[in-house]
Amino acid sequence: MPSLQKEQSACPECSTLLVGGYCHQCGAKLPDEHDLALKHFLHDGLDELTHLDSKIFRTLRALFFRPGFLSAEYFAGRKLRYVLPLRLFLVAFALNLFLYTRPGVALYDVRFLISASPQGKQLEGTLEKAANKRHMTKEVLFERFNEHWQHDVSLFELGDVVFFALFLSLLIRRRYLVKHLVFSLHTLSFSILFGSLGWLYYARFGFRLNPVLIAISFAVLLFYLSRAISTMYGTTGRKAWVKSFVMLMGLQLSRSFLLVFTLILALFQTLRAH
């Protein structure tokens, strides 16, 4: 009986001894018969959805229209009202990967690479020889290559964040690396989600390089970074624009490094495994 009493007076979440019906350590409530009522269950479910929706919309509104604000809020200790930086980045990346692996709008597709890259014909010839050697069609090998590539991009997605954060640490010194990591997560989340908007154009007109869209994206990201570093790092004026331009080059470099690295890895896996 004493052990049962101890279990009933301990917090179900963190095992802290309870004084009253709520835990003073984590805020959890001691379960009772009221929790089994259908009305209570539906109320909790609707309350959770409402709070989740408000948190998502609040986070996205700040991410798109208040550059650098989420990072500043994070280090000011106001974390619970927003989606955490890592979760936001992972969701943004997952959405982007889903959109750009759809038929007709596939960025991570060797066929697009062959048509868009100057070295595309050389890569196509290498894969054709490998397909003939393995007595399979070129299309089958292409699909296997795409599977490896998309898997590797997902596996090394956080490498993009770390690379950009390290680049920031060289550009903006005497700051904790964690600050650069959080800023990197928010910046890349915006960049990825903004890039996902381009999917609407590509889905309508076909997936091909468009200089106008590239110029618009460059201008938007440059403006965004200039505002973000002003809010996060206190850099203003001409210095903000210069650092924003250098940051943008670093951002493009990190994205290119991720694509090239995962591309080479996928090619190695495809030729070795099959």
Instruction: For 19-38, write each residue's pLDDT tens digit.
Output: 766 776 666 666 666 655 55
pTM of the model: 0.76
Residues 6+ apart with CB under 8 A from 89: 161, 185, 186, 188, 189, 192
Instruction: For residues 169 and 178, give the distance between their C-alpha atoms in angstroms, rounded to a whole number.
Output: 10
139-159: average pLDDT: 86
Other CB atoms within a 10 A radius of the CB of residue 250 amount to: 19
Adjacent-strand bridge partners of 167: none
pLDDT at 70 over 90: yes
pLDDT in tens, 86-133: 999 999 999 988 888 877 777 788 887 777 677 777 777 888 888 788
CA 87 to chain centre: 8
Task: Using alpha carbons, list the distances in angstroms from residue 238 to 150, 210, 244, 245.
Answer: 40, 30, 10, 11
